[in-house]
Amino acid sequence: MKKILITTGGTGGHVIPAKIIEDHLKNDFKIFYSTDVRGLKYLSSKINNTIIIDTPKINFNFYLPFKSIKLIYLIFKVIFFLKKEKIDKIISIGGYMSIPVIIGAKILGLTIILLEPNLVLGRGNRFFLKFSKKIFCYSNKLSNFPKKYLHKIELIKPLVSKAIYELKKIKHQNDKFCFLISGGSQGAKIFDELIKKVMLDVSKTFSIKVIQQTSLENIENLKKFYDSKNIQNKIFNFEEKFIDLINVSDLCITRAGATSLAEISTLNKPFIAIPLPSAKDNHQMKNAKFYEEIGCCWVLDQSNLNKEKLLNIILNILKNKSDLIVKKSNLEKLNFENSWNDVNQKLQKIINEN
């Protein structure tokens, strides 16, 4: 059995697609991981097949010589690991921590395949492109993508778990219009304060249910607020079966991380995206605009968003549901013939060819 090392950053946006790729390939390849210490919380069950590569951020300051020495050490550490485990191919999800892995794999002449889940080519993947054979993307219109490497793009449907494809068969009819509000797990003010006021005003005209993510410290306060206003609610910080919450909702209000939008759109749920303004290279806005341009969502810029603007949009959606129905129809068209097996066959084909 051939061996593949998946190298990923430490955030959920990196690790979740990595684990989905593993699920696609685990029957035909033995899978190893490299990540930094942050990624261990997502990969705790796979610790025996994981190498920790805590790559330092390379900044031009007093510590540059020390960080450069550490980087060289990590490259040799990776080379030793790759040779010891007899790794055949590398799949990189991006992130600066993958630098030693990509350089080590290049020195050993291993096949390198990239994944870019965002609509902006990440800085890590931009550097890695020259070393790679292929790059999996969700669109061929990525910002910052060098034209000379366009031939390396292999288009795939957004990566989501197998459970989501099984959930698509379930139909729900809610007696109350159900909002899923996600993206407030870190205590973002716009989610903790502005949206609850909007939901209160909406509830004066429409019968609604609110499922809302917030910080651990704010769960009790937010629940008390909705309870005091007689608004049916479920307040959470982390939900193991988050896709079940998407599945029972009628409309999502969300940030615009690639994984979140992939899950929401694959379940054919229209959404209002409020991209995180601080996202690197403004990639969340680019992600959201991709779906907006094909008529699947509404996109709001946080920098000029206020209560009245969000309230008016939601009231218009609820008063005349034709726009909601059209967006749901466009999502269904987008996902036509999208299945776990289709994605699996495409991944297997490209990986086995290269």
Tell whether the model's pLDDT for residue 62 goes beyond 70.
Answer: no
Using pLDDT thresholds of 50, 70 and 90, give the confidence band for residue 174: confident
Class of domain 2-157+338-353: alpha beta
Residue 252, class by beta-carbon neighbours within 10 Å (0-12 exposed, 13-18 middle, 19+ buried)? buried
State the Cα torsion 117-329-332-139 to the nearest 10°.
-30
Give the tokens for residue 287. Answer: 């992600």
Residue 181, class by beta-carbon neighbours within 10 Å (0-12 exposed, 13-18 middle, 19+ buried)? buried
Mean pLDDT of 174-187: 82
Same fold yes or no, 2-157+338-353 and 164-334: yes
- Which residues fall within 8 angstroms of residue 237, CB to CB, at 6 or more apart? 185, 213, 214, 215, 216, 219
By DSSP bridging, strand 89-92 and strand 111-116 are parallel
Give the tokens for residue 166. Answer: 């099984």
Radius of gyration (C-alpha) of the chain in whole angstroms: 22
Residues composing the chain:
354
Using pLDDT thresholds of 50, 70 and 90, give the confidence band for residue 57: confident
**pTM of this structure:** 0.92
- Per CATH, the homologous superfamily of domain 164-334 is Glycogen Phosphorylase B; (3.40.50.2000)
pLDDT in tens, 33-49: 999 888 888 887 677 78
Using pLDDT thresholds of 50, 70 and 90, give the confidence band for residue 120: very high
Tell whether the model's pLDDT for residue 181 goes beyond 90.
Answer: yes
- pLDDT number for residue 286: 97
3-state secondary structure 37-83: HHHHHCCHHHHHHEEECCCCCCCCCCCHHHHHHHHHHHHHHHHHHHH
Using pLDDT thresholds of 50, 70 and 90, give the confidence band for residue 23: very high
Question: Domain limits of the chain?
Answer: 2-157+338-353, 164-334
What percentage of the chain carries pLDDT values higher than 70?
A: 95
- pLDDT number for residue 16: 92
The whole-chain average pLDDT of the chain stands at 92
Tell whether the model's pLDDT for residue 187 goes beyond 60.
Answer: no
For the chain, percent helix, then strand, then coil, each to nearest 5? 50, 15, 30
What is the DSSP secondary-structure string of 165-234? HHHTT-----SSEEEEE-S-TT--HIIIIIHHHHHHHHHTTS-EEEEEE--GGGHHHHHHHHHHTT-EEE
Using pLDDT thresholds of 50, 70 and 90, give the confidence band for residue 334: very high
- pLDDT number for residue 56: 80
Give the tokens for residue 100. Answer: 């030693």
pLDDT in tens, 127-159: 999 999 999 999 999 999 999 999 999 999 999
- pLDDT number for residue 61: 65
Cα distance between residue 214 and residue 47, in whole Å: 30
- pLDDT number for residue 12: 83
Mean pLDDT of 195-207: 97
Tell whether the model's pLDDT for residue 235 goes beyond 80.
Answer: yes
Using pLDDT thresholds of 50, 70 and 90, give the confidence band for residue 65: confident
